[in-house]
Structure 1
């Protein structure tokens, strides 16, 4: 059988949850059957190094994105980029073009359709993105649907949201493949004394952590309000905030000060040693206002941590309430605080939930399972679109 060439269209070379998932999949693709390539909008970023280390052909367009208000000039940028992408796809035609997030979906799907690419897969990995409330963005999303062979969602909730809010899409067109991780990377670790010293955490203090870039939708303000309630009963507790600042750190530091818990809160910034950081935690919290399927929750479960998560998006597809963790309503710090206090007061419950969570990840969300499902999707779509070329 001819190798199936897949061009992954990336709108960013920064590394977030989606980009991490992309790397984990392409690292494990069967290179005897699939030939991955990358076409990125920008030319520089940490993700480029990781891609090149995997010896995946890389091309870039030198485009850093539309800034500021969407305008007629923005449409000029759009058409110029589309021309570049069409030329790229026609120069060495791939079998599949796949993208993940909004702008890569729009540019990638339209250009691939115009260039005659047989299989076009766009992604849905978010819920309720604010830009999609604007008519022209929603229209572009719908156009990408019209151009797509298939839409790949990472949770059943995302699929349902897509069907509720978008046009030119059917249930049959949307496949759901959950995120996956390698549990071995997050095996529970015992030694974390150096990190406790780095973050100035007393050896006997319980640690409640949130691992998410500092963005409004991740619910850090609710986390801090909940922490202020918990601190009254557990004054020795430390609250760890791990993630890249996206413009909120100053506000959050001021909030912690005003709530009287600044001495109990630690901001670590972005970390590349997440398995080690997870080893510090007694409880992991996801306080998101919206979520598709959280890699951070999966990582915490794989590390054997009990999870407290807001019941948004696909979080309930990961966290089994009262078994692997606790689900609470979003934007209700009092309920979040009650869940924190309950787990802080019950060491056995924490251990039982952590163990159950690690088992659940190994059985249901292993990256190898995700990769095999993805490969099967590629083969099915190619057989339908190119039945003759895939024979033999």
Structure 2
């Protein structure tokens, strides 16, 4: 079977290969899935991605598969998207795959659907919901970009024949708006997370792995820690994630920590190297996620793979990932009091916290191991080909 995998990929072909990347979000999913598919017997894989700054297509060895990088030109939103789709289609045609698998309801999904080949689309979010959340604080140029992306999503949903839903939340949002068949396949977690031997909890170290943007609710997280810190003087909070996208919001988070008197106990690390991210997970006692909108956060799955309990807000698909009272807890969004009380109660009971971490690890083994996700994905490919026969 020949498979073309289309999506964002965390490699710059202009830079010599070094340490394997450990990205977040969809990049992490595509990277892990590519590695898993590449080692599957009898499968020939081609990963096709769009890279800004290129003027001509570049092909590099991805380690068991060929990585084709096409130019992602600058310019108008719609004009640029059309050109990227054409570039992607050319690479698909040259490879002549049996199945094209596009990630995200954007350029990659569109290219897969117009390729003339059997297509599978993985949806990683609900753009219209993200737009609603971001709309009040967005500028008009940003709002126009959101509208463009939402229209793109709508067109993809209507045309897609086979959709991989990484969360029941996806099915609930799009059911009735498409005639596609839904296949539930959760995101994989990189094998390196399962290899980490994390010590038992006891350091009162809280961790959040998220970009510092309003959708991630970091201000609410800092407020929650301000309350928790009064009762737990040894507790610290580490926030790992890039800070460049919304510098004003990052400044607000830092200012709030100072206002609450916890600036010395809250660390904003910015983006970290792969080894440093793994070390932060291993050093944590409890992982927190305070988002206002999510689908299936990779950070929850990563924390569970390492054996850490998670307290997450009950938005999107978070409740489908965190078994409340078993592998962690879900709390209402925008409620710092509830987040502080729940996290504080777990820190006060290390035995219970360790038990939840063990349950989280067992659940991750069953749900997020790469081989299991690859097998489920291949079953979707076979189903798609049988439907075209």
Contact 1:106–1:141 (8 Å) recurs in 2: no
Matching residue of 2:257: 256
Deviation at 1:303, TM superposition (A): 1.8
Alignment of 1:173-322 (within 5 A): 173-181=181-189, 185-187=193-195, 189=197, 205-245=203-243, 246-247=245-246, 248-271=249-272, 272-273=274-275, 274-322=277-325
| 1:88 positional shift | 3.0
Query: Offset at 1:312?
Result: 1.4
Change (3 A) 1:101 1:307: same
Residues 83, 111 of structure 1: 8 Å contact kept: no
Aligned-pair CA distance for 1:217 = 1.3
Distance, in Å, in 1 between the alignment partners of 2:193 and 2:87 is 39
User: What's the offset of the Cα at 1:44?
Assistant: 6.9
Aligned-residue offset at 1:74: 3.3
CA distance in 2, matches of 1:16, 1:348: 30
Q: 1:64 to 1:218 in 2, by over 3 A?
A: farther
Partner of 1:7: 4
Matches of 1:13 and 1:219, distance apart in 2: 25
Matches of 1:335 and 1:374, distance apart in 2: 38
2:29 alignment counterpart: 21
- 2:294 is paired with a residue of what secondary structure? coil
8 Å contact 2:50–2:69 — kept in the other structure? yes
Evaluate the alpha carbon distance shift between residue 335 and residue 132 of structure 1 in structure 2; reply closer, same or farther with a 3 A threshold. Answer: farther
Change (3 A) 1:152 1:63: same
Gap regions ≥5 residues in structure 2: 12-22, 132-142
| CA gap 1:284/1:150 in 2 versus in 1, 3 angstroms | same
Paired residue total:
356
Task: Supply the distance in 2 between the matched residues of 1:9 and 1:32 (Cα, whole angstroms).
Answer: 20
Q: 1:105 to 1:151 in 2, by over 3 A?
A: farther
Name the structure 2 match of 1:363.
366
The structure whose Rg is larger is: 1
Alignment of 1:75-224 (within 5 A): 75-112=78-115, 116-117=116-117, 119-127=118-126, 128-130=129-131, 136-163=148-175, 167=177, 169-170=178-179, 173-181=181-189, 185-187=193-195, 189=197, 205-224=203-222
Let me know the Cα RMSD of the aligned residues. 2.9
What does the per-residue CA deviation read over 1:316-375, in whole Å, with 9 as the maximum and x for residues that have no partner? 222111111111011111110111111121111111111111111123332221110001
1:101 and 1:123 in contact (8 A); partners too: yes
Distance in 1 between residues matched to 2:319 and 2:103, nearest whole Å: 22
Q: Which runs of 5+ in 1 are unaligned?
A: 67-72, 193-203, 388-392
Give the TM-score normalised by structure 2: 0.82
Q: Does 1:39 align with 2:43?
A: no
